[in-house]
Structures are given as C-alpha cells and as structure tokens.
C-alpha cells in the first residue's frame, strides 16, 4: 500500500491524525509556517518514519539527517508500520528556523495513532503469486497472475429448500459455506479509537446484484450466526466492534459472467472519522479486494466419464440395456430417467449440458439447462440440482427458440493450440449459419453466456443444412494415445461412396443395407448397386460433403488441426424438406466413455458375414486402442432423426488444468 492521505497541521494547537500502517501520510504545513522561516527540522518518535522530498525533481530522504531549506515544493511524508497501543501515542514535531537566531521561531506537533486495517482473501490461487506483494484491486490471469475467485452458489445443499442456495438470504446448512469464499477483515489498534471512528464494508449497487456477503456474528457451527450484510438491496454495512481483531465473512456468487457482467466483483472497507461534531464524517482509508466469478466450463468427450444419463421410454428397453452394459465396462454410474418423468422425451443430450465450476477450495458440477423446454424440461432442475450439483439456464425473453438451441448443438473440443494461441480447456463448438446468412442461429442469450465465460472461446459452425441442425450430427472427438491426444471424427459421404465402390469392385454390389432391422416396416433394403446408381442421392451427398468440408476448414483453422488429426467416418445423408438427415444411423453420433465407444449400429451391407460399415469403423478406431460397440438405435432414435449421442448424456471429470492459469 502506498496511498497518500493529506493532513494539515496548525501552529495554534497540536493536531491529531490517524494513519494506517504502511500507508503514506502527506503533512501539509503551508498554512502554519511562521513568517521568516528559512529552514525546517523534522523528527518523529520511535516507530514513525519521516521523509522529506525537497522538490518535485528530487527523490525523498529521511528527515532526521539534517535541517532542510524551506521552499514551496517541499513535502513531508510520514509512514508508520506498526499499530499504536494507545491513542496519540506517537508524534511528529516540525521546528521552524531563521538563519538569524538559533532558537526555533515556532514548532508544530502532529500526534499520531496508527491502525492496521486489511481486507483479505485468497489471492494466490494455489501458488500463482505471493499475496503480500500483489495489488488486491486487480485481477490478473495466467500462471504468474493473482486474484481471488468466487463460485456461483447455484447448487442446493439443503434438500428441504425449494431453490438454489444463492436464491435466498440465509445460510440454510453449514455445507453451504463450502461453496463460498472467505473474506477476512483484520484490524489492529487502540480500541478507544473506534469510539469516534467507524469501519464500513461496502460495494456498488451493480456488484451487489452479483454477489452476497454473510458476516459471522456468533459460533461458526450455527447457521443463525451468519448474517446477510451485503448483496441485492444491501450495499453497505457498518462492521460492529466485537472482542477480536478479525472479522470473517463468507461470499457467494449470484450470477455467472454474461454480456452485461465481466465477472469481476469488488468489495471495500473504509475507515471513517466521525470525531468532529461540526463536520460530517470523512474517509481516512479504503482497502479493496476484487473477486472473479468462476466461469462455467464444459468437458469434452475425451475426458474420463463419471456418470451416464439415459431416458427409459416406451420402445427403447434394449437400447437402455446396451448403454447400461457399456457404462458398466467403463466403470460409470448410470442414471435412468423414468418414463413418468420424461413423458416419452428421450433426447436428454438436447435438454442439458453437464459442466462444472472450480475455485481453489471447491469444484462441483453444474448442469446448463437448454431453452428447448421439451417434456424433459423439469428433469435438470428437479432431479439433477442438489448437494454439490449446480444449475444454470438462459431463457430468451421472446419466443426465439429454435432447434439449434438444443444442446446436441453444443460441444467442446479437447485442448488445442491454434494460430499461436493456447486453448488449454478447448473451444466450444456451436452450430449456426454461414456468415451474413439469415438462417437459424443459437439464441442470443445462450451465445452471450458462452462467450462471457472466456475460457473456452466459441467457434460457430455451419449446420443449417441439417434438418435437426446439431454439430453432433457430423463430428465427434475420441481419445487417442498419440499426436494431440485425440482424433476428430467427421462424417464423410465421400468416404462412404469410396467404400461402397470398393465393395462393388470386389463383386459385392448386391449386398443390402438395412438387412436385419428388427420389428419395423418403415424401411426397405437397398443394395450397394442401387446406392451407387442413385444420381439424386449422389448429387445430394456431394452438396452435404461441401457443407462438411466448409466446417472442416473452419475447424482446422480455429482448432489448429491437420489432416492427421481427422478421421473420416463413412456416412450418407438424404434430404427431407430440403434439409439433410442421416441415410443410415449416423456413426459419428456416438457415446464416448473413455476407450469404450457406443456407436449407432448402421445396418450396412453384410459381406462375408460382417457389416462392412462396422468393419471400416473398427479399422479406423481400434488401432487407437478404442473398443467399438454397435448399439441398435434404429427404431427408437434413428427413425426420429437422432442417435446414441442424442439419447444419452455424460458427466465427466473436470480438467486437471486450472482455468485461472490460462490467459484468455
């Protein structure tokens, strides 16, 4: 701290002042200098450091070394580093001299009382910087940065409460405190000083809408001890003087960063002088701390899985069983949403995205509820929100929601480096339209929210050529033991036609697609020869390939990928109402559980007793150490324009990388 406070002294009577430990006090003598003064002599009692700055051009020197020539530019600076034991127990004396007489013309005494006031919080974020040497008024990103972190307290630790923890003004259970950040006010100095001085904790009305503060006013093992003192309609709080020198506060976030909120919240403590009955109280000193609200972070499919979600509906028992078996192999917990709750809405991927928030003291998952609001709309709030599982949503004020606002259209890449910029938490991928087009886009409130988190800068891809319009219809990521640690899978009509042409060349042109589809009369078999002679299908898939190629180039540029990082997965599309849907089950729309992949069973041509599409996918992915399981989703999902990924959701381990170590 090096803030200056100005104190004016008088010849007529001694002056008293309060100074704060480590903070400079500038002594104004110019109204008290006797006529004829040519020299000054200044000294302080032990514990008082006095410096003279003879002019603006010269640096400061210790005052007790000699007498000083008086001039209009001379400054006297006082610093005390230790709090006083009693009021006015230290002083500075200034003696005024003329060259014509040895005795001082006059002298002035400034009595000093030193207090130590600090507002502290965890600034170093796990060893980034020593908190003693940083500016608490700033928040700095990166491994060499500093600043305190605040979690949005959006879980529900007390199941007897109806809402999220940060929606009320009480601490309902002690576990709730684990989601908050601690702020400590420390004061040292004579107790008598506070008979006519006050300490006020305060924030702006803007920040009060985004964070709430509780003061510990009793035994910490009692919820009643936590008094709501700042937040919402409370912007200031006079701190009562209890018996100790330390007051503890717990701070919770109320809002995630968004278009109108940078994520920074400031709190201040001000010492006010109320000792003069003739004047209003005046500020002596203010200390400030800044918190950054932790962003909501998505997890890519390459991170280890913890829990799989799936819906039980009328006709998907075998599908649920297959997902359960895959989850067991991967060592995951399985959560089944029953039909009574999903009301036959099976698209659990579209309903929500599972991410997390993190601070040095706590990490917990947070579900982002999409604005699609199908029959599953109550599931994230009623079934997932709970102890150490948070909830957030964004709803447009108008009715501007479209199919692109389902979260099958919200994915995130693994960590990448692109154009010299590191993205250690990956980049969010959302589907939209071509630049300048007036087609479908993700609603503005969702885009604003995603951009405002800053740690996973979004990339917008072209999906309006698809009937459903989701990025998971043509891409996915799987872990890999080499290279960048992953491969990006892209649906490829070109790769499919090439495969079928090879099979026809080897005499398998009469092999049939869709042979073996059970219990459905809505699909007819079709041979490789028929596919390769269908000019409309070929022409349309050339268009689809051009759309995917557009995205391929965007992804290579924005994610720093090369062709070696991309695997082309054979896939054909057909047109419905001038938009694309999968011709056979969409192979890239898969469930990734570590090395175990749940892939839509394509019902491709059977050659030598094996599906040639399955064999091709195995040949591409199993050398990466992946295990391919093909799940029959044809009737319950594919015929409704969705696949395995659309019908499942996964909670994953957080990144080992801490978000505050990055530089956005």
Strand pairing of 101-120 and 15-20? parallel
Catalytic site residue 472? yes
Q: Which one of 158, 287, 472, 632 is the catalytic residue?
A: 472
C-beta atoms surrounding 577 within 10 Å: 6
- If we measure between CA atoms, which residue out of 298, 355, 290, 296 comes closest to residue 149? 290
Instruction: Give the Cβ contact number of residue 504 at 10 Å.
Output: 18
Exposure string (b/e) for 591-612, b if CB count within 10 Å is 16 or more? bbbbbbbbbbbbbbbbeeeebb
Catalytic: which of 197, 215, 470, 638? Answer: 470
Is residue 529 within 8 Å of 508, Cβ to Cβ? no
Q: How far are the Cα atoms of 339, 540, 627 from residue 375, in angstroms, in the given order?
A: 10, 34, 34
CB 236 within 8 A of CB 281: no
Residue 167 bears catalytic tag: no
Specify whether 100 is catalytic. Answer: no
Return d(Cα 409, Cα 388) in angstroms, integer.
Answer: 26
> Rounded distance, CA 129 to CA 143, Å?
8
Q: Is 350 a catalytic residue?
A: yes
The catalytic residue among 114, 496, 547, 646 is 646
Given a contact cutoff of 8 angstroms between Cβ atoms, the answer to whether 216 and 242 are in contact is no
Contact assessment for residue 297 and residue 456, using Cβ atoms and an 8 Å cutoff: yes
| Rg of the chain on CA atoms, in Å | 34
CB 409 within 8 A of CB 441: no
Instruction: For tokens 């009469």, name the residue.
Output: 510
DSSP string, 304-353: PEEEEEEE--TT-HHHHHHHHHHHHHHT-EEEEE-HHHHTT---HHHHEE
List for the chain the helix, strand, coil content (%; round to 5): 20, 35, 45
Which H or E run contains 112?
strand 101-120
Give the active site residue among 155, 165, 179, 350.
350
Angle at 131 between CA 127 and CA 137, to 5 degrees: 125
- Dist CA 561 CA 567 (whole Å): 12
Residues 6+ apart with CB under 8 A from 444: 396, 400
- Hey, which residues are catalytic here? 350, 470, 472, 646
């Amino acid at each position: 701290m090096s803030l200056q406070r100005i104190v004016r002294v008088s010849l007529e009577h001694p002056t008293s002042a309060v100074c704060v430990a480590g903070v400079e006090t500038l002594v104004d003598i110019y109204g008290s200098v006797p006529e004829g003064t040519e020299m000054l002599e200044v000294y302080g009692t032990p514990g008082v450091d006095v410096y003279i700055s003879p002019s603006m051009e010269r640096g400061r020197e210790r005052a007790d070394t000699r007498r000083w020539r008086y001039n209009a530019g001379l400054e006297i600076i006082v610093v005390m580093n230790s709090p006083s034991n009693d009021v006015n127990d230290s002083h500075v004396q200034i003696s005024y001299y003329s060259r014509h007489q040895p005795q001082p013309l006059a002298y002035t005494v400034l009595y000093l009382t030193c207090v130590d006031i600090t507002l502290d919080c965890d600034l170093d974020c796990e060893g980034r910087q020593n908190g003693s040497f940083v500016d608490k008024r700033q928040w700095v990103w990166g491994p060499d940065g500093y600043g305190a972190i605040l979690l949005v307290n959006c879980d529900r630790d007390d199941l007897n409460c109806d809402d999220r923890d940060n929606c009320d003004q009480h601490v309902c259970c002690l576990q709730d405190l684990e989601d908050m950040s601690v702020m400590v006010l420390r004061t040292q100095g004579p107790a008598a000083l506070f008979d006519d001085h006050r300490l006020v904790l305060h924030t702006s009305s803007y920040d009060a809408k985004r964070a709430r503060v509780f003061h510990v006013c009793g035994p910490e093992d009692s919820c009643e001890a936590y008094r709501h003192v700042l937040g919402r309609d409370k912007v200031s709080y006079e701190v009562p003087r209890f018996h100790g020198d330390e007051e503890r506060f717990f701070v919770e976030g109320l809002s995630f960063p968004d278009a109108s909120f940078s994520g920074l919240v400031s709190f201040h403590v001000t010492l006010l002088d109320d000792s003069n009955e003739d004047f209003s109280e005046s500020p002596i000193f203010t200390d400030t701390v800044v918190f950054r609200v932790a962003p909501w972070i998505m997890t890519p499919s390459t991170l280890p899985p913890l829990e799989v979600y799936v819906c039980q509906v009328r006709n998907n028992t075998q599908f649920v069983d297959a997902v359960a078996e895959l989850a067991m192999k991967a060592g995951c917990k399985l959560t089944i949403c029953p039909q009574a709750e999903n009301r036959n809405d099976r698209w659990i991927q579209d309903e929500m995205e599972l991410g997390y928030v993190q601070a040095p003291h706590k990490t917990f998952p947070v579900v982002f509820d999409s604005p699609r609001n199908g029959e599953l709309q109550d599931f994230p709030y009623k079934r997932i929100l709970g102890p150490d599982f948070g909830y957030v949503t964004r709803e447009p004020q108008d009715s501007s929601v479209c199919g692109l606002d389902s979260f099958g259209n919200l994915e995130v890449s693994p960590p990448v480096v692109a154009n010299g910029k590191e993205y250690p938490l990956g980049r969010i991928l959302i589907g939209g339209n071509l630049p300048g087009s007036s087609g479908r886009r993700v609603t503005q409130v969702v885009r604003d929210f995603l951009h405002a988190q800053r740690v996973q800068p979004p990339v917008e891809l072209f999906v309006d050529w698809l009937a459903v319009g989701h990025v998971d219809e043509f891409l996915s990521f799987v872990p890999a033991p080499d290279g960048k640690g992953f491969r990006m899978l892209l649906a490829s009509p070109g790769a499919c036609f090439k495969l079928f042409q090879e099979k026809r060349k080897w005499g398998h042109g009469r092999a049939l697609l869709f042979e073996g589809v059970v219990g459905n009369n809505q699909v007819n078999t079709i041979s490789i020869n028929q596919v390769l002679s269908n000019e409309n299908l070929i022409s349309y898939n050339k268009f689809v390939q051009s759309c995917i190629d557009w995205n391929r180039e965007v992804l290579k540029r924005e994610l720093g990928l090369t062709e070696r990082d991309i695997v082309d997965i054979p896939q054909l599309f057909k047109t419905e109402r001038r938009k694309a849907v999968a011709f056979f089950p969409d192979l890239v729309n898969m469930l990734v559980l570590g090395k175990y992949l749940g892939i839509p069973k394509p019902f491709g041509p059977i050659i030598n007793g094996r599906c040639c599409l399955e064999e091709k996918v195995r040949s591409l992915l199993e050398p990466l150490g992946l295990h391919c399981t093909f799940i029959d989703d044809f009737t319950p999902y594919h015929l409704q324009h969705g696949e395995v990924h659309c019908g499942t959701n996964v909670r994953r381990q957080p990144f080992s990388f801490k978000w505050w170590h990055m530089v956005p």
